[in-house]
């Protein structure tokens, strides 16, 4: 299983982020994903391989092509990683706000 660090590293590339964002809209084949990108179809396939190894993308066979989509488990694990920081920030804010309330009273 891939780690959140692999997922973050995979999304560090702007082309991979664009592919990831397109897959968030809908599952797609390589040719569809390559349209409008400044890279070739083989390059898009390589980017998809990296995203798949990072646990963010999966694929299924459809006749003679592969359809790629986001992997909910991988995206969920990445979200849980970032949610941890959001929760910590909210807890810290709550503590400071409560301390300010105590000073006012």
For 10-58, write each residue's pLDDT tens digit: 999 999 999 999 999 999 999 999 999 999 999 999 999 999 999 999 9
CATH of the domain at 87: 1.10.10.10
Per-residue confidence (pLDDT) for residue 1, from 0 to 100: 59
- Confidence band, pLDDT 50/70/90 cuts, at residue 96: confident
Domain count, the chain: 1
Question: Interhelix angle for 14-25 vs 41-53, to 10°?
Answer: 80
Tell me which residue has tokens 């390559």. Answer: 34
Model confidence at 105, pLDDT cuts 50, 70, 90, reads: low
């Amino acid at each position: 299983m891939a780690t959140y660090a692999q997922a973050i590293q995979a999304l560090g590339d702007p082309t991979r982020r664009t592919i990831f964002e397109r897959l968030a809209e809908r599952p797609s084949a390589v040719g569809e994903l390559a349209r409008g990108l400044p890279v070739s179809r083989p390059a898009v396939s390589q980017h998809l391989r990296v995203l798949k190894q990072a646990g963010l993308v999966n694929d299924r066979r459809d006749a003679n092509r592969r359809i790629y989509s986001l992997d909910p488990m991988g995206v969920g694990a990445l979200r849980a990683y970032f949610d941890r920081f959001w929760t910590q920030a909210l807890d810290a804010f709550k503590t400071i706000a409560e301390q300010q309330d105590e000073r006012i009273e």
